[in-house]
Structure 1
Amino acid sequence: MLRRNLFKTAATVAGSSLLSTVPAALAMEAGKRPLQAIALCAIELPPEEFASQAKKAGYEMMGLRIHPIVPGALAHEFKAGTKEIKAFKQYLANTGITLHGVDGFAINSDTNPAEFHSVMDACAELGVKNLTLCGDAPNKEKFARVLQDMADYAAPRGFNIDVEFMIWRTVGTLEQAYELVKLADRKNCTIAVDALHLYRSGGSHNDLDKIPQQYLGEIHLCDAVINGPIDKKLVAAQRAGQLKVESTSGTPKGFEGVVREAREGRLIPGVGELPLVEFLRHMPERPIGVEVPLPGYQTQRVFDLTYKYSQDLLRQL
């Protein structure tokens, strides 16, 4: 019932004509922190439309998915050296928004890193600063070697590799991600900390204090209700390393609800119950990406609302 009411609150705000656009003056206020609109906010939009709408809402940066997370999944692919990539770079320059990050990379212990090199070349040409991946690590040492190769390939091309943990994968918790990036031992290989994934995996903002800051990477911001759609016994088993989760072939049994929530059930920052102010206070100052898809809403309104509410939240810091 509480979840339904929170969605109703967001929908009421979204329907307000006063918030249908964000005043240009809002984007010029002093002391504001730049925000990135992550691809999942409106993944169905062509890149040019995504850039235009995100910039109109006030976003200074944007993300893009240029590689399908599973074969056949939606992505807006670019290849280095093509006229399409050059035209998009010019469009970004004309629009005045920076393409900061790309996501949608799922790897495992047996991944051949070379299969991503051409995509990473496109990242370099686009000027991307961060590539976020997730995955499954049944063999930790082999997984760390994959990370090393990807980080070594990315470093001279000017971007960082972030490992994002998700409760339904073997890299499911902050601690499990930390173990792997520490094994990889590359300065440009860190952990992407998504607020939803941190709390759904049984973690807390206090756990962030146990991780050396050099291993903490980008912030993904959204809200949610406290009690998520997952059995706490599954979370406890995952945290204890007692589950054999292989999610590259699909959603593991018992995790369907939390996967659905992550893809289409996130809430606008400040509308839900997560302690987001405390979360941000326990993170070092890192780039902040807002990740809130709102299925059924007009995409411009999604950008307008997520930007405004995220900046309202940041003012509480």
Structure 2
Amino acid sequence: MSGNPRRREVRGLTLGFLSLGASAAPLDVLSAAAQAGFGAAGLRISARNPGDSWSRPNAEGDGLEQIRARAEALSIRISSISGYYVSDKTSLSHLLANVEAARRLGAPLISQGCFEPKLGRVAGLLRDYARAAADVGVRIALEFMPMSTLKTIDDTRRVIAESDARNVGLLIDSLHLARSGAGASDVRALDPRSIYLTQLCDAPAVRAPTTTLFDEAMSGRLYLGDGGLDLKGLVAALPPDAEIELETPVVGDAALPGGERAKRAAEKAAAFFASHFG
């Protein structure tokens, strides 16, 4: 075994739902994670916006206890959930539904995107949202994405500071980090306690000019080691016990069964960590 504290075996990694597609059903993600040897899974449990089509168990419906029971039977930890975005369509009640879903699933973390253009409203919602989450022992990982309202690390830190929430931190996605113009040195400069979740994928070093940021995020990601992002530098900049989730919806493998996609992600991740941190 390697003595490098940043070396990860597959069991020490999380399979993100997006690795199986944007609408991957929670039970399918759990099964795929177990088949591939992951120790944890991140699940989407509702549509991104209220009113959007979503046929899976969600934060306002039944089925969450079934998901929790299945995770326990498979010995898969539910590391985080994704629910409704903060947007102009979202009220506090929708965000509180995210909290209730996390509580019922036993998930300690909510992965939170933000597309509300009024940052003052974001801070106000976040203040009450975070308070409700804290009451049930849940934290919120706020994600910056160049195509969202929170485009950079600094944008995200400012809105967290304005909210005065103590249980809200950063979600760092390797692709969004690179496309925001930041890198490993910016991550290393952060208080490590502020980094709640890191999502890893690879991609070309430079985005193709004919591809939008959104399209690349959904269909341009690669397995670890298959692109040109500085993943080694990013992992080295993280605390050794960082929560790391794979988010690798590789389009070329989209037709494969979920378990096979998860196994390919696992094999590539194991090779990456062995090569760089072995």
Task: Please give the range of the TM-score, normalised by the shorter of the 2 chains.
Answer: 0.7 to 0.9
Tell me how far apart the structure 1 counterparts of residues 89 and 131 of structure 2 sit (CA, whole Å). 18
Give the superposition deviation at 1:74: 4.3
Tell me how far apart the structure 1 counterparts of residues 188 and 159 of structure 2 sit (CA, whole Å). 18
Tell me how far apart the structure 2 counterparts of residues 136 and 118 of structure 1 sit (CA, whole Å). 18
What's the TM-score, normalizing by structure 1? 0.76
> Relative to structure 1, is the Cα distance of residues 106 and 304 closer, same or farther in structure 2, using a 3 angstrom cutoff?
same
1:272 equivalenced with 2:252 (yes/no): no
Whose radius of gyration is greater, 1 or 2? 1
Q: Work out the number of aligned pairs and report it.
A: 263
Give the superposition deviation at 1:177: 1.0
Secondary structure, aligned partner of 1:131: strand
Q: Is the 8 A contact 2:8 2:273 kept in 1?
A: no
Match of 2:101 among 119, 122, 125: 122
Tell me how far apart the structure 2 counterparts of residues 106 and 294 of structure 1 sit (CA, whole Å). 24
Q: Residue 247 of structure 1 corresponds to which residue in structure 2?
A: none
Which amino acid is 2:135 matched to?
P
Sequence identity, in percent? 23
Q: Is the 8 A contact 2:201 2:223 kept in 1?
A: yes
Alignment of 1:145-224 (within 5 A): 145-224=124-203
What's the TM-score, normalizing by structure 2? 0.86
Q: Residue 58 of structure 2 corresponds to which residue in structure 1?
A: 78
Which amino acid is 2:13 matched to?
L
Q: Is the 8 A contact 1:35 1:60 kept in 2?
A: yes
Deviates more, 1:183-192 or 1:68-77: 68-77
1:36 equivalenced with 2:14 (yes/no): yes
Q: Residue 11 of structure 1 corresponds to which residue in structure 2?
A: none
For each residue in 1:97-127, what CA deviation from the matched residue of structure 2 results, as whole angstroms up to 9, or x when unmatched?
Answer: 1111112432147843222223321210100
For each residue in 1:173-203, what CA deviation from the matched residue of structure 2 results, as whole angstroms up to 9, or x when unmatched?
Answer: 1111111122223231001000000001111
Match of 1:294 among 216, 233, 250: 250
Match of 1:92 among 71, 74, 78: 71
Q: Residue 10 of structure 1 corresponds to which residue in structure 2?
A: none
Q: Is the 8 A contact 1:178 1:211 kept in 2?
A: no
Q: Is the 8 A contact 1:109 1:146 kept in 2?
A: no
For each residue in 1:47-91, what CA deviation from the matched residue of structure 2 results, as whole angstroms up to 9, or x when unmatched?
Answer: 223211211101111111111113324463335795x33232222
Q: Is the 8 A contact 1:165 1:177 kept in 2?
A: yes
Secondary structure, aligned partner of 1:63: strand
Q: Residue 55 of structure 1 corresponds to which residue in structure 2?
A: 34
Match of 2:85 among 94, 99, 106: 106
Tell me how far apart the structure 2 counterparts of residues 105 and 182 of structure 1 sit (CA, whole Å). 22
Give the superposition deviation at 1:146: 1.3
Q: Residue 268 of structure 2 corresponds to which residue in structure 1?
A: 309
Q: Superposition RMSD on alpha carbons, in Å? A: 2.3
Q: Residue 3 of structure 2 corresponds to which residue in structure 1?
A: none
Tell me how far apart the structure 2 counterparts of residues 75 and 211 of structure 1 sit (CA, whole Å). 39
Give the superposition deviation at 1:314: 2.5
Which amino acid is 1:303 matched to?
A
Deviates more, 1:173-182 or 1:260-269: 173-182
Secondary structure, aligned partner of 1:116: helix
Tell me how far apart the structure 1 counterparts of residues 242 and 162 of structure 2 sit (CA, whole Å). 22
Q: Is the 8 A contact 1:109 1:142 kept in 2?
A: no
Structure 2 unmatched runs, 5+: 1-6
Q: Residue 4 of structure 2 corresponds to which residue in structure 1?
A: none
Q: Is the 8 A contact 1:224 1:267 kept in 2?
A: yes
Which amino acid is 2:58 matched to?
F
> Relative to structure 1, is the Cα distance of residues 209 and 149 closer, same or farther in structure 2, using a 3 angstrom cutoff?
same
> Relative to structure 1, is the Cα distance of residues 161 and 220 closer, same or farther in structure 2, using a 3 angstrom cutoff?
same
1:228 equivalenced with 2:207 (yes/no): yes
Structure 1 unmatched runs, 5+: 1-29, 232-255
Q: Is the 8 A contact 1:66 1:75 kept in 2?
A: no
1:257 equivalenced with 2:212 (yes/no): yes
Give the superposition deviation at 1:308: 1.8
